[in-house]
């Protein structure tokens, strides 16, 4: 296996995605590394193959040394996020309008419980992060699909006409938006967000935005936090936003999310029950606070390394699988690959797993728009990425 692909940016700084060997990664007990047998390269679920950012590692080790494993106190996690949001996005968050939640998905459910009734329709934009549908159903609400559309250049965008029609439906009371969008990597522009807010206000639909990937927007793209539009758009003022440090700093196993209410939704936030808030772990809160307070430099470095992988993946595919269509994501480390040109059937992920021993996310999980697509997680070493693409190329011929 050719495991070493040299860095080419001349910085000489160590690649944060190339610190751990494959053998070390295989010792991990997380789902990414345990769900498949050891001959499979796992490039699926959204975990990164990095070590912990040093400030987070130190905060966690200090907590372990104190024996500090009692019930979670929210500490200054929301305040730390507010300072991060102001310095990164120029967005001022009132810490009193934020709450620590067990995780983002349960924060979404808590938000839906405040702004919708059982049986109401909730809009999502497939192909989209598949737990959205299951958690909407789990909350007793109904999924209303308003799909993104693929532009001729391969970028997935909102269909505002269709969205307007869907928001006008009498059974729809909420819109669950994912920005940055998983799996397509699209970051919606300020104008698109204003259009969403305008349409939602017109039809009395409440907006909940999942911004978990927002810390991971690549430098060429500007990210607009939905709540930063609150003074200009009433639907932004009445929105809920979910965020977390768990994607950008790879802390998913520590299970902590933040629910932030717009200025017009603070009364709804206060109604979120203790039961809905229950379940955060103290180590998650400690790690989240450390990430937002002191994890910025590490995040900048990992984004540099992810950017290199984003390009490397393009080069590797152009060389050995040119039939796959790949548009660089504007954020995060998930590549949404259109494999229809390979003629591997509706679910190419099955072929890549069976013949190539590479685990990817199956496109149809994200909605029927995902037919012939796979989602590939490139937050791994350049060597593993190169090996995975080489196995995928061989799988096509097998
Ligand atoms: C868009 C999106 N939302 C939520 C989550 C999961 O968040 P949590 O683990 O806090 O529920 C993910 C994880 O990949 C995600 O991509």
Averaged pLDDT, groups of 10, the chain, 398 residues long = 48 86 97 98 98 98 98 97 98 97 97 98 98 98 98 96 98 98 98 98 98 98 98 98 98 97 97 94 98 98 98 98 98 98 96 98 98 98 98 91
| The predicted structure's pLDDT at residue 397 | 81
Site to substitute for ligand 1 among 81, 181, 247, 257, most atoms within 8 A of C-beta: 247
| The predicted structure's pLDDT at residue 34 | 98
Tokens at 292, concatenated: 């937002």
212 within ligand 1 shell (Cβ under 6 A): yes
Distance from the alpha carbon of residue 156 to the mean position of ligand 1, in angstroms: 20
| The predicted structure's pLDDT at residue 370 | 98
What's the CA angle centered on 344, arms 340 and 350, to 5 degrees? 115
109 within ligand 1 shell (Cβ under 6 A): no
Positive or negative torsion for Cα 293, 298, 303, 309:
negative
E-strand stretches of 285-331: 325-326
In angstroms, rounded to a whole number, what is the distance separating the alpha carbons of residues 271 and 114? Answer: 7
Ligand 1 atom at minimal distance to the Cα of residue 244: 10
What's the CA angle centered on 80, arms 75 and 86, to 5 degrees? 155
| The predicted structure's pLDDT at residue 8 | 47
What is the DSSP secondary structure assignment for residue 116, as one 8-state letter?
Answer: -
> Residue 129: how many CA atoms within 13 Å on its side-chain side?
24
In angstroms, rounded to a whole number, what is the distance separating the alpha carbons of residues 334 and 353? Answer: 18
Positive or negative torsion for Cα 228, 230, 232, 236:
positive
* Helix runs in 5-97, H state only: 22-26, 31-34, 54-66, 77-89
Residues of the chain with CATH 3.40.640.10: 70-294
Residues of the chain with CATH 3.90.1150.10: 16-53+296-397
Contacts of 132 (CB under 8 A, 6+ apart): 108, 124, 143, 176, 178, 210
State if pTM tops 0.85. yes
Q: Which CATH class is domain 70-294?
A: alpha beta
| The predicted structure's pLDDT at residue 84 | 98
| The predicted structure's pLDDT at residue 199 | 98
Which CATH number does the domain 16-53+296-397 belong to among 3.30.530.20, 3.40.630.10, 3.90.1150.10, 3.40.50.300?
A: 3.90.1150.10
Distance from the alpha carbon of residue 226 to the mean position of ligand 1, in angstroms: 18
| The predicted structure's pLDDT at residue 6 | 47
Site to substitute for ligand 1 among 126, 185, 246, 256, most atoms within 8 A of C-beta: 246
In angstroms, rounded to a whole number, what is the distance separating the alpha carbons of residues 180 and 178? Answer: 6
């Amino acid at each position: 296996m050719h495991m070493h692909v040299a860095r080419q940016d001349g910085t000489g700084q160590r690649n944060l995605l190339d610190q751990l060997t494959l053998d070390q990664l295989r010792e991990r007990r997380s789902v990414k590394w345990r769900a498949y047998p050891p001959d499979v390269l796992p490039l699926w679920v959204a975990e990164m193959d990095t070590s912990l950012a040093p400030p987070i590692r130190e905060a966690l080790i200090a907590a372990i040394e104190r024996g500090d494993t009692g019930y979670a106190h929210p500490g200054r996690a929301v305040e730390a996020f507010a300072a991060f949001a102001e310095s990164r996005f120029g967005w001022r968050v009132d810490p009193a309008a934020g709450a620590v939640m067990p995780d983002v998905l349960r924060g979404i459910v808590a938000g839906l419980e405040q702004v919708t009734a059982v049986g109401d329709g909730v809009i999502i934009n497939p192909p989209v992060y598949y737990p959205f549908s299951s958690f909407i159903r789990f909350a007793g609400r109904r999924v209303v699909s308003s799909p993104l559309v693929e532009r001729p250049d391969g970028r997935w965008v909102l269909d505002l006409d269709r969205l307007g029609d869907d928001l006008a439906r009498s059974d729809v009371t909420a819109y669950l938006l994912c920005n940055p969008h998983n799996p397509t990597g699209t970051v919606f522009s300020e104008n698109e967000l204003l259009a969403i807010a305008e349409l939602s206000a017109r039809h009395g639909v409440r907006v909940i935005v999942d911004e978990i990937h927002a810390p991971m927007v690549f430098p060429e793209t500007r990210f607009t936090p939905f709540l930063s539009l609150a003074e200009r758009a009433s639907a932004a003022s009445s929105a809920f936003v979910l965020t977390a440090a768990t994607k950008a700093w790879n802390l998913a196993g520590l299970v902590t999310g933040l629910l932030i209410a717009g200025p017009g939704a603070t009364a709804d936030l206060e109604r979120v029950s203790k039961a809905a808030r229950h379940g955060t772990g103290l180590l998650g809160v400690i790690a989240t606070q450390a990430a937002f307070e002191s994890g910025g430099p590490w995040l900048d470095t990992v984004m540099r390394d992810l950017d290199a992988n984003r390009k490397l993946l393009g080069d590797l595919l152009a060389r050995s699988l040119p039939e796959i269509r790949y548009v660089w994501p504007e954020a995060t480390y998930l590549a949404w690959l259109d494999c229809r040109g390979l003629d591997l059937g509706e679910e190419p992920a099955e072929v890549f797993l069976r013949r190539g021993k590479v685990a990817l996310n199956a496109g149809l999980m994200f909605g029927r728009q995902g037919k012939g697509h796979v989602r590939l997680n490139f937050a791994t070493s350049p060597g593993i990425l190169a090996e995975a693409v080489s196995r995928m190329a061989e799988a096509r011929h097998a």
